[in-house]
Amino acid sequence: MFHTKYAMAFHMLITILFPIVMQFVIYFAVQAALDKNGHGIDGVGSALFWGFVQVALTVISFIIYGILLFLWLKKYPENPVWVKVIPFVPLLIAILVTVFRNINYQVQKKNFSADTYVSEMLEAKEKNRHLRRDEVSAIDAPDYLEWVCFHYWLDRTQYDLTQEEVEEIARLSLPVIMEDLMQEPLCVEDFNNVGRYDAVTIEHWEMSIPEQTLRVKYDYRDDVVEYHINLD
């Protein structure tokens, strides 16, 4: 009898802890991968890939949880109702988390503005910081601006913004982002020596929302670099 109760308790513990532990493992593994590979425009594919991996692994973990739960209920049908309810705790947590995320999403969507976008980009800017050859900590301007211009599309998709809304956000936020960037020490990666960064400055810039372009003149090349502002 003692061994049966012990086995039942152990089985129940595994059933409860498996999906919870898996969610922590999946979350931290994905975040570690994004921290390593998710900087700038080169990290967009990585971010999308690891986002898909996170969803897939979450679904798989809950399928396994469902199997464990079914086996536990089938093996110990004589348990009282209150005991049978305990293994459903992870499912309840998942439902509550989903509801919380949906409420949080609605609040973020309602409050999303040009100021919000600027805050997002200023946080992302630090992920594009490198040490130049002259030992000065600087922002990789080309990589950062590619991310800034691309991210409008990501936020439009995430918050279901209209064309007019995202254009207005870009019109208000880009000048602030550019003004902030020009106050920073800047750098550009030496493509002949990957991982080494040279000093660079922005001589002038201009944007065109109707054309969805940001044109930037750096001092390290004769032509103007044109970035596509992803608004649709």
Burial 99-130 (b: 16+ CB within 10 A, else e): eeeeeeeeeeeeebebeebbebbeebbebbbb
Same domain membership, residue 73 and residue 146 = no
Does the structure show a pLDDT above 80 at 31?
no
Between 206 and 190, residue with greater pLDDT = 206
Same domain membership, residue 29 and residue 132 = no
Same domain membership, residue 116 and residue 224 = yes
Same domain membership, residue 119 and residue 76 = no
Q: How far apart are CA 92 and CA 100, in angstroms?
A: 12
Number of H helices and number of E strands within the chain? 7, 7
Same domain membership, residue 58 and residue 146 = no
Q: How far apart are CA 65 and CA 103, in angstroms?
A: 26
Q: How far apart are CA 156 and CA 232, in angstroms?
A: 8
Beta-bridge mates of residue 188: 198
Range of the domain at 219: 112-228
Main-chain phi, psi angles of 205, to 5 degrees: -150, 160
Q: How far apart are CA 49 and CA 218, in angstroms?
A: 32
pLDDT confidence bin for 152, thresholds 50/70/90: confident
Q: How many CB atoms lie within 10 A of CB 35?
A: 11
Q: How far apart are CA 47 and CA 53, in angstroms?
A: 10
Per-residue pLDDT tens over the stretch 107-140: 888 888 999 999 989 988 988 899 998 899 999 9
Per-residue pLDDT tens over the stretch 72-93: 888 888 878 878 888 888 888 8
Same domain membership, residue 22 and residue 37 = yes
In the 8-state DSSP scheme, what is residue 227? E
Same domain membership, residue 189 and residue 97 = no
pLDDT confidence bin for 1, thresholds 50/70/90: very low
Domain count, the chain: 2
- Mean pLDDT across the chain: 84
Same domain membership, residue 92 and residue 65 = yes
Domain end residue (candidates: 93, 110, 127): 110
Given a contact cutoff of 8 angstroms between Cβ atoms, the answer to whether 72 and 121 are in contact is no
List the structure tokens of 135: 């030992």
Does the structure show a pLDDT above 80 at 33?
no
Same domain membership, residue 34 and residue 66 = yes
Q: How far apart are CA 54 and CA 36, in angstroms?
A: 16
Given a contact cutoff of 8 angstroms between Cβ atoms, the answer to whether 162 and 114 are in contact is no
Same domain membership, residue 96 and residue 175 = no
pTM: 0.68
